[in-house]
Amino acid sequence: MGFIVEYGQYLRSNLKCTIVNVYAMCNMKDIVALWEDLLALKSATLNLAWCFVGDFNVVRRSYDRKGVRVCGSQKSEIFGFNNFIDRNLLVEFPVVGKKYAWYKSNVSAKIRIDRVLVFDDWLQQWPMGKQYILSREISDHCVIVVKSSVKDWGPKPFRFIDVWLMEPGFKDMVRDNWNSYSGKGNSIYAFKGKLKSLKVDLKVWNRDVFGHLESEKKNCLMEIEELDVKDEGDALPESLRTRRLVLINRVEEINKKLESMFR
């Protein structure tokens, strides 16, 4: 099929929502058939706010492609895709962040084939929606996050990572620090205060003792991101493309180690 459907309900207004995760084939005939399937699915279900998101495998404008030669058939695909959007009164949320959402492995080509399209019911509920194109890490596709507004959910809860228990000396560190805290007030407030102090010490311990792999991964991803941004303006020289492949391989190695640790 070329899509996955998720149904839900926005509790604040009881609005029923449908999010369709799209993955289009490379053949234009199959892409057009997918458009018709999406519209047939929507027509069969009433009273829902709809959002189509994912890889449509076609662009809306010629400059949505870089490093790819645009031929006559691709211009026809662009016209057909825009006609599909306009004819069905779909709206694309404004883009924040990167210009492109898909990158070839050697960064010689990049395309905006991933996007978010919504219908009027969705737009009425979230008129300030935007699509944020984030880092792609080592994938071909960037992460896309849809936001309507920034919410402040208050203080972050206390979190504990199970894999910490595998680190020698961790339990002794927690016990020694916990016993050193002086709780004030009744037992509930004293416990809350000691938990707050432990949270600070755990963050320091995680950074200095346990977190070197995550830090290295973060630095690698930041450098990959910088190379991607630099490549949006001018093509990267071969030396920097090689550097990027080295970084990707290192991130893959770190991910394997982290996965093993968490298992």
Which pLDDT tens digit goes with each residue over 6-37? 999 888 888 899 999 999 988 899 999 999 99
Given a contact cutoff of 8 angstroms between Cβ atoms, the answer to whether 50 and 18 are in contact is yes
Percent of the chain at pLDDT above 90?
33
Structural domain harbouring 115: 3-147
Mean pLDDT computed over 83-97: 91
By the 10 Å C-beta count (0-12 exposed, 13-18 middle, 19+ buried), 110 is classed as: buried
Mean pLDDT computed over 81-91: 92
Mean pLDDT computed over 59-64: 90
Residue 131's pLDDT is 92
Most confident of the ranges 62-71, 117-126, 202-211, 228-237: 117-126
Residue 158's pLDDT is 72
Same domain, 134 and 19: yes
Of 194, 210, 226, at which residue does a domain stop? 210
How many domains are contained in the chain?
3
Same domain, 143 and 13: yes
Same domain, 124 and 241: no
What span, in angstroms and rounded, lies between the C-alpha atoms of 73 and 76? 5
Residue 33's pLDDT is 93
pLDDT at residue 56 is higher than 60: yes
Most confident of the ranges 84-88, 209-213, 231-235: 84-88
Same domain, 16 and 118: yes
pLDDT at residue 186 is higher than 60: yes
Q: Nearest Cα to 210, choosing from 181, 176, 173?
A: 173
Residue 92's pLDDT is 93
Of 170, 191, 210, at which residue does a domain stop? 210
Per the domain annotation, does 157 fall within a domain?
no
Mean pLDDT computed over 90-97: 90
CATH of the domain at 103: 3.60.10.10
pLDDT at residue 263 is higher than 70: no
By the 10 Å C-beta count (0-12 exposed, 13-18 middle, 19+ buried), 12 is classed as: exposed
Residue 140's pLDDT is 87
Mean pLDDT estimate for the chain:
85
Residue 53's pLDDT is 94
Same domain, 178 and 229: no
What span, in angstroms and rounded, lies between the C-alpha atoms of 192 and 107? 50
Per the domain annotation, does 154 fall within a domain?
no
Mean pLDDT computed over 194-204: 88
Per the domain annotation, does 152 fall within a domain?
no
Of 195, 210, 225, at which residue does a domain stop? 210
Per the domain annotation, does 19 fall within a domain?
yes
Residue 204's pLDDT is 85
Per the domain annotation, does 15 fall within a domain?
yes
Same domain, 181 and 254: no
Same domain, 70 and 183: no
Poorest-pLDDT segment among 6-10, 161-165, 235-239: 161-165
235: tokens are 């093509």
Looking at the chain, which runs of residues are DSSP E strands?
Answer: 3-10, 15-23, 49-55, 65-66, 91-92, 95-97, 102-103, 110-111, 114-118, 130-133, 144-147
Per the domain annotation, does 153 fall within a domain?
no
- Structural Rg of the chain based on CA atoms: 24
Given a contact cutoff of 8 angstroms between Cβ atoms, the answer to whether 39 and 90 are in contact is no
Per the domain annotation, does 71 fall within a domain?
yes
* Contacts (Cβ under 8 Å, ≥6 apart) of 49: 10, 15, 16, 17, 18, 118, 119, 121, 122, 124, 125
Residue 82's pLDDT is 93
Same domain, 54 and 127: yes
Residue 54's pLDDT is 93
Same domain, 15 and 133: yes
Same domain, 242 and 199: no
Residue 5's pLDDT is 92
Per the domain annotation, does 72 fall within a domain?
yes
Same domain, 177 and 53: no
Same domain, 91 and 184: no
What span, in angstroms and rounded, lies between the C-alpha atoms of 137 and 85? 30
Mean pLDDT computed over 157-175: 78
Greater pLDDT, 54 or 262: 54
